[in-house]
Structure 1
Amino acid sequence: MTVETPLFARSPTSHPLGKLTFQAKVDLPEVVGEIIVSRACECGMSTAELIRDVLSWWACPDTLQRLLDEREKVARGNLAGIVPNKP
């Protein structure tokens, strides 16, 4: 599993798809919970962030990919404007 720096700002109240207003509680098998906790730690995320990202990508993959592509394009444009200091 590769770990990449997230391009979306993580906030307890917002997400690129909109406000976080829907709440759901679900019981998971113990082994699944352990894997989620482990993967979240590997990615530097909370379990809530990981579950939110997985479900968001599952439900709206095209929208999230479009947003990700737009953010990458902006980031590349910002980096292109940086000129290294010349001695």
Structure 2
Amino acid sequence: MYRHASIDIFLDPAVHGRGIGKDAVGTLVRYLTVDLGHHRLVIDPAADNAVAIACYSAVGFEPVGIMRKYEKGPDGWHDSLLMDLIVE
């Protein structure tokens, strides 16, 4: 009945800008949607992580909204951006 998945990825900043993240996320999206039949995927990068947000947007994820105080770090709570990709 429900065909959705939540994904998460970490890419060392030392390799940013090489297309590795976009390729990895794109490959995972194709696997989850084409091979497994999911129709909705979500990801929730830190709201201030412009690099990750640009990567996910390039693959087709769209912003849904801000999840306030979603993740706690050593310096306190941080917001995340909920993004989704829906396959029609």
- TM-score of the superposed pair, with normalisation by structure 2: 0.26
- TM-score of the superposed pair, with normalisation by structure 1: 0.26
**Which structure has the larger Rg?**
1
Structure with bigger helix share is 1
Structure with bigger strand share is 2
